[in-house]
Amino acid sequence: MPTLWLVCLLLVLAAAGFVMGRARALASAGGDARTLHSLPNYYGFNVALTSLVPALAVLAVWLLAQPIIVDTRVSKLIPADMVPEGSTIGLVMSDVRRVAAGLDLAVDTGLLRAPEAAALSANERDVRSLLGEVGVALGADVRPEVLAAAQRSRELNHAGRLLMTVLVTGLALAGLGWAYVRTNKEFRARNVVERGVLVLLIVAASLAILTTIGIVLSMLFETSNFFRLHDWKDFFFGSTWAPNFRGDSELSILPLLWGTLYISFIALLVSVPIGLFAAIYLSEYAGKATRALAKPLLEILAGIPTIVYGLFALLTVGPTLAKVFGKGGLLGVEWMAGATSVLTAGVVMGIMLIPFVSSLSDDIINAVPQSMRDGSLGLGATRSETVRQVVLPAALPGIVGAILLAASRAIGETMIVVMGAGAIAKFSLNPLDTMTTITTRIVSQLTGDTDFASPETLVAFALGLTLFVLTLGLNVLALYIVRKYREQYE
């Protein structure tokens, strides 16, 4: 049974349990709800949650554990001589998973029957062409060992899914029956349900924390592997970024860090004045009708996908700047070699950040008490003087925090930089030069068939950890400034 259908079945059982639990509670009270310890709905929720939550927990753990267990058992079928020198078995296992997925797709589309897929032989049939008919592209012919491992993987996965369906369904039915039998008018259903909801809330909060810890630990482990293969002094203090998968790579983060900070600085030069002025206008000068129309339109910018901004940089902003600063441009001097440059990416990224600055600043300015404005106006100050000398100083810590949060968003941007800034890592003060950033190098180092035993691939994790620390520092600084200098208004 597909996982989605299994989840739907669990939800149906939970709904049935709710109805049954509520009905049993009322029946035990002779139809008089006033004699029940809890409201009738609590008895229904108790049966529903007892049926649903343990089954869903087992389902989630099973879905996480099954691929690991299957890969561990299947990898033992791969001969050691099939693993390329200097590589890992993970690359071979990725081919096994692709072949297994292709066989499943061939069975689903009717190209093969299930027994034929299980008995398929690489010596008798061109498996690569067969899988190509269902849209699974393979880079080389399928070796018999890979096909056998893929068939074993399918067998184990199918058996695992069947066992999972039986176990999860049985657990849900057992929970439903147990909770249903316990239901009576003296049962403290409200207390049980509220404790259960509290546990669910704690688990939800813990998942977010554990996810963050998992991300950090995964980057730390891979970064430590990188520094075992590459000198940390070259990474932090070198001046050249020149990865070479044949060896002798120079992998310094400084040129990438310079490009990241330079593009982010230009983006903030564009977004901060426009966003701040827009926030001042909307909060202090605009009427209700204008604000109701302008604020949502301004915040639409935050919902545009970054790939669209990248296309805008590549097709509109870059060529426009090239007509002005490029060869044969309006200025007659070739300052810009092509459509990609730091200025192109910075301007477009700044446009993307405008709603971040304006929306946060608008909320902060609106939090300043009206009594402060009235007092300033009562003393004879004009509206602009009130904004400049009263409102902005009071809101300044929050505005600085909003700017720092926008800066951390700019530092982590990828698609706009890929399409608008170029791919050259270097030191330059010319905003019309092409440069690159940390995020774009992470993407390029992990694209394609990656060998996680080489420093040229593992460097992506070191770059990611450095970027994480940088953005985390900006966020912590923003929170510190807001909390330290924020005025508390009654």
Examine residue 200 and state whether it is found in any structural domain, yes or no: no
Number of folded domains in the chain? 2
Question: Domain check: are 246 and 372 in the same one?
Answer: yes
Whether 413 maps to a domain, the answer reads: yes
Question: 276-303: per-residue pLDDT in tens?
Answer: 999 999 888 888 888 888 888 888 888 8
Tell me if 193 is assigned to some domain: no
CA dist., res. 281 & res. 391, Å (int): 12
Q: Is residue 74 part of a domain?
A: yes
pLDDT digits (tens, 9 = 90+) for 455-485: 778 888 888 898 888 888 888 887 787 777 6
pLDDT band of 382, cuts 50, 70, 90: confident
pLDDT, greater one: 134 or 177: 177
Task: Point out the domain boundary residue: 187, 206, 230.
Answer: 187
Task: Determine contact, residues 420/314, Cβ cutoff 8 Å.
Answer: yes
| pLDDT-above-90 percentage for the chain | 17
Q: Under 8 Å CB-to-CB from 426, ≥6 apart: which residues? A: 255, 259, 433, 435
Question: Do 154 and 274 sit in the same domain of this protein?
Answer: no
Question: Would 59 be classed as within a structural domain?
Answer: yes
Q: What is the pLDDT of residue 166?
A: 92
**pLDDT, tens digit, 9 for 90 and up, residues 6-17:** 889 999 999 999
Q: What is the pLDDT of residue 269?
A: 93
- Say yes or no: 146 and 253 in one domain: no
Q: Which domain holds residue 110?
A: 2-187
Higher pLDDT, 117 or 426: 426
More confident residue, 301 or 202: 202
CB 298 within 8 A of CB 380: no
Would you say residue 172 has pLDDT above 90? yes
Query: Does position 89 have pLDDT exceeding 80, yes or no?
Result: no
In this structure, the answer to whether residues 38 and 168 fall within a common structural domain is yes
Distance, CA of 237 to CA of 254 (rounded, Å): 7
Residue 490 scores a pLDDT above 50 = no
Q: Residue 87: pLDDT band by 50, 70, 90 thresholds?
A: low
Same domain membership, residue 150 and residue 59: yes
Please identify, among 167, 187, 207, the residue that sits at the C-terminal boundary of a domain: 187
Q: Which of 170, 187, 204 is the last residue of a domain?
A: 187
Distance CA 272, CA 275 (A): 5
Q: Looking at residue 263, what is its pLDDT?
A: 92
Residues 172 and 246 in one domain: no
Q: What is the mean pLDDT of residues 213-240?
A: 86
pLDDT at 125: 63
Least confident residue range of 154-163, 246-255, 289-298, 314-323? 246-255
Average pLDDT, the chain: 83
pLDDT tens figures, 435-462: 888 888 888 887 765 556 677 788 888 8
Cβ atoms 14, 33 nearer than 8 A: no
When pLDDT is cut at 50, 70 and 90, the band that residue 239 belongs to is confident
Q: Is the pLDDT of residue 221 over 90?
A: no
Q: What number of residues does the chain have?
A: 490
Which pLDDT value is given to residue 195? 92
Q: How many CA atoms lie within 13 A of 16 on its CB side?
A: 12
Q: Are residues 136 and 270 in the same domain?
A: no
Task: Tell me what pLDDT residue 28 has.
Answer: 87
Per-residue model confidence (pLDDT) at position 124: 54
Q: What is the mean pLDDT of residues 168-192?
A: 91
* 326 DSSP assignment: B
Verify that 182 and 264 share a domain, yes or no.
no
Q: Are 352 and 346 in contact (CB under 8 A)?
A: no
For residues 299-320, average pLDDT: 86
The pair of structure tokens assigned to 146 is: 């890979």
Q: What is the CATH number for 380?
A: 1.10.3720.10
